[in-house]
């Protein structure tokens, strides 16, 4: 973290990931009167996952706005607010509910700067819990981040730790352009981490090397980071030294870190829970082959969800990459 991005104090709190979301929203709102939160049940109820709990009581109903049940209306209103100087944070209760707002996000939020030739920007954050593993009904377990990565003008951020969640959320809120901020709800309350009090920034567009290694590079993000690290530790006992890179931002992607890791190891695997076809693994593979082909020693493994609708209960654990399947994929890349 650079000096300008450092937290205001050295005091910390031990937070879960969802508590870090709430903390980031609170500190950004306290720091800047133009920041507001809007969405279904975000006010008095504190949100479906309690990510906005207490904000209504502290900041009032003009800055914590309960909206009608209309994702298109939430996003469209937020675009207008952002164009005229506010910094709205719009919550979609689940990523599977975001599609009615897709037109507003990609046709208006993402294009406002170029459409107005720089006269207007759109400092908007669209938050959405995403991903599977919580035994939810249909439309509650989507992992379709690639839809938004494909759209120029949008940044797409996916944290995997409480520390990064708060810092990246503050960065997203302060960004002059729209950010889709996807929160891996599988790990909302899975573990805790010391998080600085007060606002601080984690830079958008920079990956983090979670585990140094020399044999194979493994790229992942969100809820898949922890099982990937678990698989890497298991493989270390077999003599395979895997480097694990947590992308943190999937648009813009940190090509420099990806290529530096691959040039060191010559082998790679990519892990994500989204379907395989057209997913981020394909983009990362293409980037490596375009810019680091001469370092490549083995086919790049894609360890992903399947090209099917997200299944219900009985098959959910089979669909998601878990440590054993991740370990098998990494081993294939390392032993080719």
Residues with a catalytic annotation lie at: 140
Angle at 191 between CA 185 and CA 196, to 5 degrees: 100
Which pair of tokens denotes residue 120? 């207007």
Cis peptide before 216, with omega less than 30 degrees from 0? no
Q: Are 244 and 229 in contact, with CB atoms under 8 Å apart?
A: yes
Q: Are 323 and 231 in contact, with CB atoms under 8 Å apart?
A: yes
Nearest residue to 127 (alpha-carbon basis) of 63, 48, 193, 191? 48
Q: Regarding beta strands 216-220 and 268-275, do their DSSP bridges make them parallel or antiparallel, or are they unpaired? A: parallel
- Cα distances from 82 to residues 22, 79, 110, 208, 239, in angstroms, run 21, 5, 12, 30, 52
Measured in whole angstroms, how far is the alpha carbon of residue 130 from the centre of its chain? 9
Residue with tokens 């997200």: 310
For 269, what's the count of Cα atoms within 13 Å in the CB-facing half-sphere? Answer: 31
- Cα distances from 71 to residues 68, 80, 95, 121, 299, in angstroms, run 8, 14, 11, 21, 41
Separation of alpha carbons 94 and 162, rounded Å: 19
């Amino acid at each position: 973290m650079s000096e300008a991005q450092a937290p205001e104090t050295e005091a910390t709190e031990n937070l879960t990931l969802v508590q870090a979301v709430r903390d980031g929203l609170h500190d950004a709102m306290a720091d800047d009167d133009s920041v507001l939160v809007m969405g279904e049940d975000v006010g008095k109820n504190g949100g479906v996952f309690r990510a906005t709990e207490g904000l209504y009581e502290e900041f009032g109903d003009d800055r914590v706005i309960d909206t009608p049940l209309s994702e298109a209306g939430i996003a469209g209103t937020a675009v207008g607010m952002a164009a005229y100087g506010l910094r709205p944070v719009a919550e979609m209760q689940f990523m599977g509910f975001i599609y009615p707002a897709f037109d507003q996000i990609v046709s208006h939020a993402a294009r406002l700067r170029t459409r107005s030739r720089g006269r207007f920007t759109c400092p908007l954050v669209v938050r959405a819990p995403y991903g599977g593993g919580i035994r939810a009904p249909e439309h509650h377990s989507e992992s379709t981040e690639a839809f938004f990565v494909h759209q120029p003008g949008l940044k797409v951020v996916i944290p995997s730790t409480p520390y990064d969640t708060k810092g990246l959320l503050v960065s997203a809120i302060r960004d002059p352009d729209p950010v889709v901020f996807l929160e891996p709800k599988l790990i909302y309350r899975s573990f805790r981490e010391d998080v600085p009090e007060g606002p601080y920034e984690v830079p958008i567009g920079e990956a983090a090397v979670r585990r140094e290694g020399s044999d194979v590079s493994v790229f992942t993000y969100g809820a898949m980071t922890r099982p990937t690290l678990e698989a890497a530790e298991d493989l270390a006992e077999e003599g395979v030294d895997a480097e694990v890179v947590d992308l943190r931002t999937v648009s813009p992607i940190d090509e420099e870190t990806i290529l530096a890791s691959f040039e060191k190891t010559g082998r790679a695997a990519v892990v994500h829970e989204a379907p395989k076809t057209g997913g981020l693994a394909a983009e990362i593979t293409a980037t490596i082959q375009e810019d680091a082909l001469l370092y490549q020693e083995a086919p790049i493994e894609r360890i992903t969800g399947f090209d099917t609708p997200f299944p219900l209960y009985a098959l959910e654990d089979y669909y998601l990459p878990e440590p054993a399947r991740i370990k098998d994929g990494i081993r294939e890349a390392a032993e080719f």
